C-alpha cells in the first residue's frame, strides 16, 4: 500500500477543502479525494459553453466566515468578492420595487409604495442586524449535546446563555419570534406593501420545501442575514471568475500548507475495522490508509452510503433516514448574446444587482402550492444575477452569463416523465415565466443549462438535490444537525468524522462546518 495519511477528506467541496486546509495547517498529512474532475462541490465554476463561465450551482457569497477568510488568508489565495449593487423586483402590474446598497435611495424607493413602510424598513433591517449579532456566537461553537453536555458543553451553553441574556428583553423576544414564526407572519408585523413583503420573504424560503406561510421560515430568513462582508451584516456579492473561485482559493490555501488534492477519485467506502475507520476504498479498487477519515458529503451519504448501517447504532440510522432533504430548488444558467430588457426597469444599472421574480406574497405561496402537490412551480420564484455585469471576464465582451436560481422544483416529479423530460418541462416553465418580465430574453439566449434537484443529486451528489445538505429548519439545526447526540462532528465510528453543510452551522458557503470540524478533530488529538 502506498503513502499513509493522517487524514483523508472525502469530497472536495468548500467545507471538505476548508477542513483539509485547517488540518494541513496544523501539520497533518492530508489527502482530499474529489469524485468530479473539478473542485468545489456545489461552489464551482465551469465553462459549460465556450467563453462563458457558469456559476453552475451556488452563485452568491455572503456567509463565508470572516475567521476562515482571515486564518486561511483567502484573499492572498484568490478570494475576490464584489458586492451586488441592488435588488430589483418587477411587479405584475408593470411597476417594480428596488432596494439599493445606500439606505437613502432604498427609503425613497419604498416611499413610492408606502411612506409607512419606508419608515419601517430601516427598523426591520436594524432588528435583523441585532438578531444576526445575537446569534453570531452560536455560529462559532461546536454544538453541545444538551442531554449530556459535559464540562465543555456546559461552558459553551453558559456563555451562549450569558450572551443571550445580555441582549435585553426586546431582542430576546424578537429572537424567539424569528425562531418560530413564518416569514409571512413576521413580515405582516412590519410591512403593508405586498411586493416589499414578497421581496423580504425570499430569504426565508430559499433551499427549503416550505412556503412563506410555513412556520420556521423566519429563521431561514435570518440565516441569510448572518453574512458579514466587511463587518456589515447582510451584504451579498459575487466571486470574481465565478463561485468556484472561492473553492479554488480554499484549495490553494490547503495546498500551501501541504495538503494533497486528487480529483476524479471517487470514494466507494470508508474502511471500518473493529469500529474504527482505517482508510477509504476508491471506486477504482485502490485503498488508501489514514487514521482519520472526514466526510464532507451530506449526512445521507456520510452515514448511509460510505459506511454500513451495521456499524452504526439503530437510532442514528433512523434519524438520518428521517432527516429532511427534500430539494426544493433548481438552477438555470444562460449564456446571453445581449442583456435582457425588463420593461419595468427604469435604470439599467439595476441589472448589476439581483433580480427577484417575486412579485407578490400570493405568487410565492402559489409557487409553493404547485410544488407541494408534486412537480415544480408553474410560475416559480427566481433569484437572478448577471455576474458578467460586475465582472466582465465571465463572458466575452458585450455578452453575459445569467444565473437563475429557481424555486420550487421537487426532487421527485414523476408526472413529467423521465428526468430528461422533467428537466425540459422545468426549463420551459422558468423561461416562459421570465419572458413575461423580460420579453427579449428568448431572442438572446445562446446556450442554456437546466438543473433540477435530481440533476443536482446526480452531478454534485447532493441528496435529493438539497443545496444545504438538509433543510435549515429548527428541528435540524445546531445540536440536532444532523442528529441529536452527533452534532459535534463525530460519528459512532472512531476516526470517522463529518464536516459538511449537514453539520452546524449549516448550508451556504460558510466554511463554518469545515473549520469547526477540523478544530474539533485537532482538539481530540488526531
Residue closer to another protein (CB basis): 83 or 149: 83
Cα gap 270→277, rounded to integer Å:
7
Q: CA angle 44-48-54, nearest 5°?
A: 45
Residue closer to another protein (CB basis): 76 or 112: 76
Residue closer to another protein (CB basis): 265 or 350: 350
Residue closer to another protein (CB basis): 124 or 133: 133
Closest approach, Cβ 13 to another protein, in A, equals 22
Residue closer to another protein (CB basis): 233 or 480: 233
Cα dist. 358→96, 157, 349, 430 in Å? 10, 39, 20, 13
Q: CA angle 323-326-327, nearest 5°?
A: 130
**Residue with cell string 430568513:** 221
Contacts with another protein by CB under 8 A lie at 66, 69-70, 74-76, 79-83, 85, 100-102, 104-105, 133, 136, 166, 229-233, 240, 352, 389-393, 397-398
Cα gap 65→18, rounded to integer Å:
11
Closest approach, Cβ 101 to another protein, in A, equals 5
DSSP string, 83-129: E--EEEEE-TTS-EEEEESSHHHHHHHHHHH-HHHHHHHHHHHHHHH
Closest approach, Cβ 351 to another protein, in A, equals 10
Cα dist. 493→6, 315, 378, 410 in Å? 16, 14, 45, 33
Cα gap 300→182, rounded to integer Å:
27
Q: CA angle 209-66-79, nearest 5°?
A: 90
Closest approach, Cβ 307 to another protein, in A, equals 38
Candidates 466, 327, 470, 353; CA nearest to 410 is 327
Residue closer to another protein (CB basis): 61 or 361: 61
Hey, how many other C-beta atoms are within 10 angstroms of the C-beta on 345?
Answer: 18
**Torsion sign across C-alpha atoms 169, 163, 70, 13:** negative
Cα gap 421→431, rounded to integer Å:
15
Quick check: bond before 482 cis, omega within 30? yes
Closest approach, Cβ 32 to another protein, in A, equals 24
Closest approach, Cβ 238 to another protein, in A, equals 9
Closest approach, Cβ 226 to another protein, in A, equals 12
Residue closer to another protein (CB basis): 104 or 151: 104
Closest approach, Cβ 82 to another protein, in A, equals 5
Residue closer to another protein (CB basis): 69 or 430: 69
Closest approach, Cβ 76 to another protein, in A, equals 8
Residue closer to another protein (CB basis): 314 or 347: 347
Element (H, E) at 361: helix 361-372
Residue closer to another protein (CB basis): 377 or 389: 389
Closest approach, Cβ 84 to another protein, in A, equals 10
Contact between 99 and 198 (Cβ < 8 Å):
no
**The three grid cell numbers given for residue 342, joined into one nine-digit string:** 425588463
Amino acid at each position: 500500500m502506498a503513502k499513509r495519511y493522517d487524514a483523508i477528506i472525502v469530497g472536495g467541496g468548500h467545507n471538505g477543502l476548508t477542513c483539509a486546509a485547517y488540518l494541513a495547517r496544523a501539520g497533518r498529512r492530508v489527502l482530499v479525494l474529489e469524485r468530479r474532475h473539478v473542485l468545489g462541490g456545489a461552489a464551482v465554476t465551469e465553462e459549460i459553453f465556450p467563453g462563458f463561465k457558469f456559476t453552475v450551482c451556488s452563485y452568491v457569497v455572503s456567509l463565508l466566515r470572516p475567521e476562515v477568510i482571515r486564518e486561511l488568508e483567502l484573499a492572498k489565495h484568490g478570494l475576490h468578492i464584489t458586492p451586488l449593487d441592488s435588488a430589483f423586483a418587477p411587479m405584475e402590474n408593470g411597476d417594480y420595487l428596488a432596494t439599493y446598497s445606500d439606505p437613502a435611495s432604498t427609503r425613497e424607493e419604498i416611499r413610492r409604495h408606502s411612506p409607512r413602510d419606508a419608515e419601517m424598513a430601516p427598523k426591520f433591517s436594524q432588528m435583523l442586524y441585532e438578531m444576526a449579532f445575537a446569534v453570531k456566537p452560536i455560529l462559532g461553537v461546536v454544538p453541545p449535546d444538551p442531554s449530556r453536555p459535559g464540562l465543555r458543553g456546559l461552558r459553551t451553553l453558559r456563555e451562549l446563555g450569558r450572551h443571550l441574556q445580555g441582549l435585553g428583553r426586546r431582542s430576546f423576544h424578537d429572537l424567539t419570534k424569528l425562531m418560530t414564526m413564518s416569514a409571512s407572519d413576521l413580515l405582516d408585523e412590519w410591512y403593508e406593501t405586498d411586493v416589499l413583503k414578497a421581496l423580504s420573504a425570499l430569504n426565508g424560503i430559499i433551499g427549503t420545501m416550505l412556503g412563506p406561510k410555513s412556520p420556521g421560515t423566519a429563521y431561514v430568513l435570518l440565516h441569510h442575514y448572518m453574512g458579514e462582508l466587511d463587518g456589515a451584516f447582510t451584504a451579498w456579492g459575487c466571486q470574481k471568475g465565478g463561485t468556484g473561485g472561492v473553492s479554488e482559493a480554499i484549495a490553494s490555501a490547503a495546498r500551501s500548507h501541504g495538503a494533497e488534492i486528487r480529483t476524479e477519485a471517487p470514494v466507494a467506502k470508508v474502511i471500518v475495522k473493529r469500529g474504527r475507520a482505517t482508510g477509504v476504498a476508491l471506486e477504482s479498487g485502490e485503498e488508501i490508509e489514514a487514521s482519520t477519515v472526514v466526510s464532507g458529503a451530506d449526512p445521507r451519504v456520510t452515514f448511509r452510503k460510505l459506511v454500513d448501517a451495521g456499524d452504526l447504532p439503530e437510532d442514528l440510522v433512523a434519524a438520518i433516514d428521517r432527516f429532511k432533504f427534500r430539494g426544493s430548488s433548481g438552477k438555470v444558467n444562460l449564456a446571453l448574446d445581449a442583456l435582457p430588457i425588463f420593461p419595468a426597469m427604469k435604470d439599467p444599472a439595476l441589472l448589476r444587482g439581483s433580480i427577484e421574480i417575486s412579485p407578490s406574497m400570493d405568487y410565492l405561496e402559489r409557487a409553493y402550492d404547485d410544488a407541494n402537490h408534486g412537480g415544480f412551480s408553474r410560475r416559480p420564484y427566481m433569484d437572478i444575477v448577471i455576474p458578467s455585469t460586475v465582472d466582465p471576464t465571465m463572458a466575452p465582451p458585450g455578452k453575459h452569463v445569467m444565473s437563475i436560481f429557481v424555486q420550487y422544483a421537487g426532487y421527485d416529479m414523476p408526472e413529467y416523465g423521465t428526468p430528461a423530460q422533467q428537466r425540459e418541462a422545468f426549463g420551459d416553465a422558468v423561461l416562459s415565466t421570465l419572458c413575461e418580465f423580460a420579453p427579449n430574453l428568448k431572442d438572446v439566449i445562446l446556450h442554456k443549462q437546466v438543473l433540477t434537484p435530481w440533476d443536482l443529486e446526480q452531478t454534485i451528489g447532493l441528496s435529493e438535490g438539497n443545496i444545504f445538505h438538509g433543510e435549515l429548519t429548527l428541528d435540524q439545526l445546531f445540536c440536532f444537525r444532523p442528529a441529536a447526540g452527533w452534532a459535534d462532528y463525530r460519528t459512532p465510528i472512531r476516526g470517522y468524522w463529518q464536516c459538511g453543510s449537514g453539520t452546524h452551522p449549516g448550508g451556504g458557503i460558510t466554511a463554518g462546518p469545515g473549520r469547526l470540524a477540523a478544530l474539533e478533530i485537532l482538539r481530540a488529538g488526531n
